[in-house]
Structure 1
């Protein structure tokens, strides 16, 4: 009886996540999307959220972030120095499970911190920015993110609702053809201007201009209405999200998830080749395996 109650609750939460907002993933993709497996926890976090559950959240609700906007030009100087040294780059070792698919379409990054203290490489190369971030405990992760001309991030949603996404424009085209679209609503970056949004809504980004775009990209802890919810959020972040830490250099720590991802990626290669050969066969096998696992879990 208990397992059926669990199944009904899980399916109800997964349905809520799928139908939340105006833009949705294809059902075949949503079934295996990370956000589906995180749905029960995310629905609980939405219910406990201390800020409105909307596509965009007013930056003014987070006054502790004001120093970042006030000193954005200093931050930009360090970002430009990194770009000149070709340190804002994609991963070439399959050790960035959270953003691995983005690299194929031009997106690049340099991690400043990831649910921990600053990366050693960031402290060395970006001392002013890491000092600013260290003084703001609600910033759980941060990086410089570059989207070059022609770069694109296809529709996706992040799996965990325990944070909100903050973007601060550093080097932008200042053009509406360079934008992020959250649940169908567009925002175009501008130098020195910030935006906050809920990354668990489906979003995408595109730069069809002839100019580069670099932003300060941060995960900000989602405020909660109750202390127990804050404690739960921090426990999950500390013990699970932190395991997705990805290095800039060999001096930086690689989280457990990313160490495992290197091996998992090799196992995915036969599946990718199968999909390239015949998508119909790929999906039959994929959902057949999912169905078999569900039957094993819930058989009488």
Structure 2
């Protein structure tokens, strides 16, 4: 059976189960969270955040080298059909180092310092360079699980913060080069880049620190996501994309 046919069979069942169970699972995870259940979480609670900021010059250097072949960075919607609602055009591009717990060796080899740094983050789920081109919009949406938190660090962001920002739970934040912040994406959020410059960040998803039943539910839910057609499609598409890139 082809990947495409298998996905069509699995996805409806996953969606139905997820919609029914997700509110309860999220409530349990939030109840048993070891960090505050708020839109923004203090980055000081995660020591690796400071290490990333200190390594910003090296990370930025690797990113600039990648951008010399910018056409080799795919649009997110090409890798993940499930993201097409919030990636309405080709302007949101993603260079995955790790995706949903899976390492992308070809990409890590192109940014070895960054890959080594993010690879040591406890509970790492995904790490990628996220690029939003001029005029890019990511519509308002909610993340699927309290089991993960997001970290953004500015790599090469527009000079005017008034026209390039993310709004989370009604609070608007602009990225700064070399500075990171952590947030819970289950709160409503959306992104705008109304400048004529690229917005480039290091985007990390990692497991929320939890305990007890919440920890168990988190592990079960995230395992289900990793084995779902949603992730398998992304994995297959990344392999196809890298296979057809010119040798470098």
* TM-align CA RMSD: 2.4
- Extract unaligned runs of 5+ from structure 1: 1-31, 254-300
| Structure 2 match to 1:196 | 182
Is 2:32–2:214's contact at 8 Å kept on the other side of the alignment? yes
Q: Deviations over 1:13-68 (max 9, x none)?
A: xxxxxxxxxxxxxxxxxxx9x76751111111111111111111111111133221
- Structure 1 distance, partners of 2:149, 2:118, is 16
Q: 1:250 aligns with which of 234, 240, 243?
A: 240
Gap change, CA 1:251 and 1:104, over 3 Å in 2: closer
1:117/1:134 contact within 8 Å kept:
no
2:156–2:198 contact (8 Å) kept in structure 1:
yes
Question: Aligned to 1:81, what secondary structure does the other structure show?
Answer: helix
Match of 1:49 among 29, 33, 41: 33
Would the alpha carbon gap of residues 213 and 36 (structure 1) be closer, same or farther in structure 2, given more than 3 Å must change?
A: farther
Q: Give the TM-score, by structure 1 length.
A: 0.67
The residue correspondences of 1:93-172 to structure 2 (distance < 5 A) are: 93=78, 95-105=79-89, 106-172=91-157
1:39 aligns with 2:23: yes
Which range is displaced more, 197-206 or 82-91?
82-91
| CA gap 1:91/1:55 in 2 versus in 1, 3 angstroms | closer
Q: Specify the alignment match of 1:180 in structure 2.
A: 166
1:73 and 2:63 matched: no
Q: Considering only CA atoms, is the larger Rg found in Structure 1 or Structure 2? A: 1
Hey, what does 2:217 align to over in structure 1? 232
Which structure has more relative contact order (CA 8 Å, sep 6+)? It is 2
> Structure 1, residues 194-219: CA drift from partner, whole Å, max 9, x if none?
11111000000001112111000011
When residues 66 and 227 of structure 1 are mapped into structure 2, their CA distance, relative to the original with a 3 A threshold, is farther
TM-superposed deviation, 1:251: 7.7
Q: Does 1:205 pair with 2:195?
A: no
Instruction: Work out the CA distance in 1 between the residues paired with 2:40 and 2:76.
Output: 29
1:221 maps to 207
After TM superposition, give the deviation of residue 184 of structure 1 in Å. 0.8
Give 1:168 shift: 0.5
Deviates more, 1:199-208 or 1:230-239: 230-239
Partners of 1:68 and 1:35 in 2: how far apart?
35
Does structure 2 retain, via aligned residues, the 8 Å contact 1:115–1:242? no
Question: Is there any run of 5+ residues in structure 2 with no aligned partner, and where?
Answer: 1-15, 244-248
TM-score (normalizing by structure 2): 0.80
In the alignment, is the contact (CA less than 8 A) between 1:115 and 1:238 conserved in 2?
no
Structure ranking higher in strand proportion: 2
User: Is structure 2 residue 51 aligned with structure 1 residue 61?
Assistant: no
